[in-house]
Amino acid sequence: MKRIIIHSDMNSCYASIECSLNPELKGKAVAVGGSVENRHGIILAKTPEAKRCGVTTGEAIWQAKRKCPDLIVVEPHFDIYYKYSRLAKEIYRRYTDRIEPMGLDEAWCDITGSLLLFGSVQNITDEIRKAFKEELGITVSIGVSYNKIFAKLGSDLAGCDEVVTITEDNYKDVVWPLPVSSIMGVGKNTAAKLHGYGIKTVGDLAKRSPEWLKLVFGIHGEDMWRYANGLDTSAVAFDGQEREIKSIGHGITCKADLVNDDEVWKVFLALAQNVSKRLKEEKAEATGVQIAIRDNELSNLQCQCETDLPTQSAFEIAKKALELFRKNYNWRRDVRALTVRAINLQQENTPVQLDFSGEYKRSEKQKKIDDTVMSLRERFGKDAVFNCCLMTEEKAPDMDGKKSPLPVRINMK
């Protein structure tokens, strides 16, 4: 049986919610921007009126204001955006139990089994659009198709409060003339590489052989070919179905540029603390560490390596992150933002192959220290124990509204 999947995308989500909360903003050029003080001063979302003035997501607020002097910039209210996301899900639940969210503002719904109850696809999409307008005061774009990739593409093509349907009969006319970057999973770098091979449209991609694409782009090449040909068969997850966590990361834009390894170490240590806490909550261990560095010219660098042993320790993760940083960063420019990710996760206490180097013993000792610190904090509060070196740290923004307490740094040798 042919599947019917819809992809719903709240239009200019954050900005629309702000306008819904404050009707005086309706019809004006409004943007949601991060805190300028904490150097998060970029545009996160904008209304169509701001878009018409040339304001783009991701640009600095001062750049946006230069293009659109009347632009009203409001601070984000993520707690409210989460609430709207939850309410949106409640609307989808009226029609199906297969709801797979993608971020706060988008979701796939498989409505194949709902048509007998609700009549037609159009009935369902009309009701969803109406519910969003009446109940939440915002609009959605909906894509309808027989696979997730084309459903998502449909919602990208649809205007505010519109529905675009991509079928097996029309996809060659609708999808194939589009730029190759329209397809989900084809980012800026992949698109540039595809352009280099003369692949400019989705149709060009679809007509290449999957073997050749696999050879050039690895397993992802084959995926892209399937996506372009409408052959994606991935299922829409059930509502509430836990998705396998692939990585746990935490990143921050610093209040001032970092200028040496010592400052970088302190930020890594602060970030690794949050990563370690999440790992423990998820009962997972990292077998790899990845870092992302953004310099003050906004160039990005990402690199990763394996850990010696599976770990949850903030100290071990931060140490690995610094090692990676030292190996890969040349300090041509100061550092603006850092991210640390625990990758290649496995369940905690998975048996490991011991070695003769004594690494395991060292790791066990670190684990005991971490557990002790954790229990001290549980008993005496978050501020009971934290790293001495972070008492004077001024450049990492407070992550929980106050300085995050961190595990004791102990020289293991």
Catalytic residues: 106
Residues 183, 187, 191, 193: is their CA dihedral positive or negative?
A: negative
Beta bridge partners of 106: 9, 102
Q: Nearest approach, Cβ of 71 to another protein (angstroms)?
A: 20
Q: How many CA atoms lie within 13 A of 39 on its CB side?
A: 16
Nearer to another protein, 22 or 300 (CB): 22
Q: Which is nearer to another protein, 88 or 275 (CB)?
A: 88
Count CB atoms within 10 A of the CB of residue 75: 12
| Nearest alpha-carbon partner for 112 in 187, 2, 227 | 2
Nearer to another protein, 134 or 281 (CB): 134
Residue closer to another protein by CB (options 18, 295) is 18
Distance CA 182, CA 233 (A): 19
Q: How many C-beta atoms lie closer than 10 Å to residue 85's C-beta?
A: 19
CB of 32 to another protein, least distance (A): 15
Minimum distance of another protein from residue 131's CB (angstroms): 9
149: three-class secondary structure by DSSP: helix
**Distance linking the first and last C-alpha atoms of the chain:** 64
**Interface with another protein (CB under 8 A):** 20-23, 84, 87, 134-137
In the complex, least distance from residue 83 CB atom to another protein, rounded to whole angstroms: 8
In whole angstroms, the minimum distance from the beta carbon of 19 to another protein comes to 8
Cβ proximity to another protein: between 4 and 136 the closer is 136
Cα–Cα dist 304/292, whole Å: 9
Which residue in this structure is represented by tokens 């609307």? 91
